[in-house]
């Protein structure tokens, strides 16, 4: 089958969240944290980079490790993790990688002559007297650096603000000199935290973490994760250090806020923290974000969706999909792996993914894989109990007459096939208990046109779904 753009856009065994996308020459590069399959904490692995040609977002290339956690002088034993980074090109043409280690509250910087490194440690962001940002009296902790360079100035955005924490005021903007380290304008608060949001327009969507800055025309777009965690919101201003106004949500990794096919507050995937940004690629704009897998917060995968701007420069919220856009539907023939599910839920709702995985493993389906971290094992959906539904969007359907599924597990029941999650059942595929993958099929009439596909398990036990195949 023809290679197609899908979500997640990297192989199913790659766990690269917090992705910051950039176009350098004729390729798009992503820089993110690096989670571990079945990890016990966030960001356990070293930084890696992946890239794709701007004309083909189905053709991603693994660029390898670009920076190791032990390169930072504060972390020679690798006991601290590399949290979400960002990259900018300095006035000298070199690439600067900004990051924060997980047990300190200062900003580290590494540098490379090329987008993919390897990067070398460069220094710490500091005041003119050498005091590191985050360690001066009155400084607030640094976290999740986002950067943009214009001329000899680099604008650094940082912050982490939990609900009810009055010790932290919001997202900060700090201006750095052309050496990429020295502060020439001290931090200013640009988006409020929850305790300080009254009357600001940010109420209900206050700053939590993950600031990321982009510029379109004469307007700065500050993308961030709100206190709801699952959503990436944005604010705009014509000044990089003041005047930001709340504009809305771009994407939710639980699809909360979308009301085109369900109630706006109904979760259609197990959400959690979110981090990403927008970028223009080959005359189209995209939002990069991540989803949660393995029933925990600690194995996150990179996704993207095409976005559109209104004439006024606003970004309507987009639906999460398996194809990256309803405008780019998948082919209506061939086998599709189940890990491409953009919707995954049961009759019992949960907005958030579990931190431990203990209770999710008992009652909710999850995308997972066999093997250990680093093994190139294709992902699948595990623990589909009665009412569990996996949704895939979108397909350009023409004369689909048969559907085949690949299932294993101690189960006895059937899979319903639908084009609306709570709609008419178009086919029923009976399945039975097996400890190896088995194929089952049924005749079906899928209406022609661009359609989603939903597979709902009804029956006893717990089924795992590896894939489905569409046939004429």
Active-site annotation, residues: 18, 209
Q: What is the SS3 assignment for 220?
A: strand
DSSP per residue, 103-116: T--S-EEEEESSTT
Per DSSP (E only), the strands in 54-195 are 61-67, 86-89, 95-99, 108-112, 120-124, 146-150, 153-158, 170-176, 183-192
Comparing C-alpha atoms, which of 13, 53, 52 is closest to residue 34?
Answer: 13
Per-residue buried b or exposed e for 269-303, using 16+ beta carbons within 10 Å of the residue's own CB:
bbbbbbbbbbbebeeeebbbbbbbbbbbbbbbbbb
DSSP 3-state helix, strand, coil percentages of the chain (rounded to 5)? 5, 45, 50
Please tell me what DSSP assigns to residue 362.
Answer: H
Per DSSP (E only), the strands in 308-448 are 334-337, 343-345, 366-368, 380-384, 389-397, 402-409, 411-418, 427-431, 434-443
Per-residue buried b or exposed e for 377-391, using 16+ beta carbons within 10 Å of the residue's own CB:
eebbbbbbbbebbbb
């Amino acid at each position: 089958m023809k290679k197609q753009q899908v979500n997640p856009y990297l192989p199913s065994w790659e766990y690269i969240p917090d992705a910051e996308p950039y176009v350098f020459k004729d390729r798009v590069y992503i820089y993110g944290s690096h989670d571990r399959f079945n990890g016990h904490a966030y960001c356990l692995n070293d930084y890696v980079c992946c890239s794709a040609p701007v004309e083909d977002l189905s053709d991603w290339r693994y660029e390898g490790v670009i920076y190791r956690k032990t390169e930072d002088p504060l972390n020679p034993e690798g006991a601290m993790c590399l949290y979400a980074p960002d990259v900018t090109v300095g006035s000298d043409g070199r690439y600067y990688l900004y990051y924060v280690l997980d047990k300190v509250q200062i900003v580290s910087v590494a540098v490379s002559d090329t987008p993919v490194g390897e990067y070398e440690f460069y220094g710490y962001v500091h005041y003119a007297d050498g005091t590191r940002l985050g360690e001066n009296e009155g400084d607030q902790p640094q976290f999740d650096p986002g950067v943009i360079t214009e001329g000899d100035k680099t604008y650094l955005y940082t912050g982490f603000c939990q609900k009810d924490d009055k010790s932290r005021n919001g997202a900060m903007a700090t201006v750095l000199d052309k050496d990429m380290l020295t502060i020439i304008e001290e931090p200013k608060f640009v988006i409020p935290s929850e305790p300080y949001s009254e009357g600001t327009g940010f109420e209900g969507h206050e700053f939590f973490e993950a600031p990321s800055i982009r510029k379109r025309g004469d307007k700065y777009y500050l993308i961030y994760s709100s206190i709801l965690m699952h959503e990436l919101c944005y604010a705009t201003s014509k000044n990089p250090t003041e005047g930001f106004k709340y504009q809305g949500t771009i994407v939710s990794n639980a699809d909360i806020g979308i009301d085109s096919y369900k109630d706006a507050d109904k979760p259609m995937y197990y959400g959690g923290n979110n981090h990403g940004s927008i970028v223009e690629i080959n005359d189209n704009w995209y939002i990069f974000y991540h989803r949660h897998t393995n029933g925990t917060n600690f194995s996150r995968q990179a996704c993207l969706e095409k976005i559109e701007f209104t004439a006024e420069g606003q970004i309507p919220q987009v639906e999460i999909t398996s194809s990256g856009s309803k405008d780019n539907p998948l082919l209506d023939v061939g086998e599709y792996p189940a890990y491409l599910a953009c919707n995954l839920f049961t009759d019992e709702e949960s907005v958030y993914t579990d931190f431990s995985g203990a209770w999710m493993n008992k009652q909710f389906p999850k995308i997972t894989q066999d093997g250990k971290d680093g093994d190139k094992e294709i992902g699948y959906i595990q623990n589909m109990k009665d009412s569990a539904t996996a949704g895939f969007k979108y397909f350009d359907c023409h004369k689909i007459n048969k559907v085949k599924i690949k299932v294993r597990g101690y189960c006895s029941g059937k899979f319903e096939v639908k084009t609306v999650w709570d709609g008419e059942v178009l086919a029923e595929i009976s399945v039975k208990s097996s400890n190896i993958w088995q194929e089952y099929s049924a005749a079906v009439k899928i209406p022609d046109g661009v359609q989603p596909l939903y597979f709902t398990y009804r029956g006893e036990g717990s089924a795992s779904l590896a894939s489905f195949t569409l046939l004429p």
